[in-house]
Amino acid sequence: MTPMASVDHRPEVAPPEEPSPPTANRHGWSAKLVFFVVLLVVMAAYTQLAFQMDWVTKAGRIGPGYFPRIIGVAATLLAAFGAWHSWRHPGDESDVVEEEMGEGDLGRHPMAMLVMVLASLVLLVTLLSLGAIVASAVFMLAVLSYLNPGRWVTNLVLAVAVPFGLYLLFQTALNAGLPSGILPRF
């Protein structure tokens, strides 16, 4: 006689379900929502102050309120969207939690930071004497040579194209006026 395997005839039982969160507190005040609401109030006040400044000067150049208006409106809209999203999705699991990211290493490139700070100081000191175009081109070439070594063609093209693009934007399109320095036509 062969022994028969015993068969379990009990019905399968589903594992207990997780309790669902209460729906009454679905749109509760979270720390993220409070942050966005406070940021929204601050940015709305900033935008209101920016709209009290002049848009253009009497000479037809951009005034002191030009960029603050753009920044204020954009920041107010982004803060409002953030507050709305935090209110609509309070327990959104798509946010990255700090424990998942790990600890940041803030001291990996101190020499690159030092080079950037020194190059920025040189740019600040030479901006009026050399002019915006020349000082920016020298700054970009120096920084790119350090951060992007061996790619001389790319570095040179960027060092010329970016200052020229800034000249076209600020001097020509916005009529903002840039320091001319050693290049009198720019």
Q: Tens digit of pLDDT for each residue in 32-62?
A: 889 999 999 999 999 999 999 888 888 877 7
pLDDT value, residue 64: 82
Q: What angle do CA 167, 172, 175 make, to 5 degrees?
A: 105
pTM: 0.50
- What residues in the chain have per-residue pLDDT under 70? 1-28, 91-107, 185-186
| Spatial CA neighbour of 78 closest among 115, 55, 47, 48 | 47
* Cβ proximity of 72 and 53 under 8 Å: no
pLDDT value, residue 169: 86
Provide long-range contacts, Cβ within 8 A and 24+ apart, for 153-161: none
Identify the three-state secondary structure at position 46: helix
pLDDT value, residue 24: 40
Size of the chain, expressed as the number of residues it contains? 186
pLDDT value, residue 173: 81
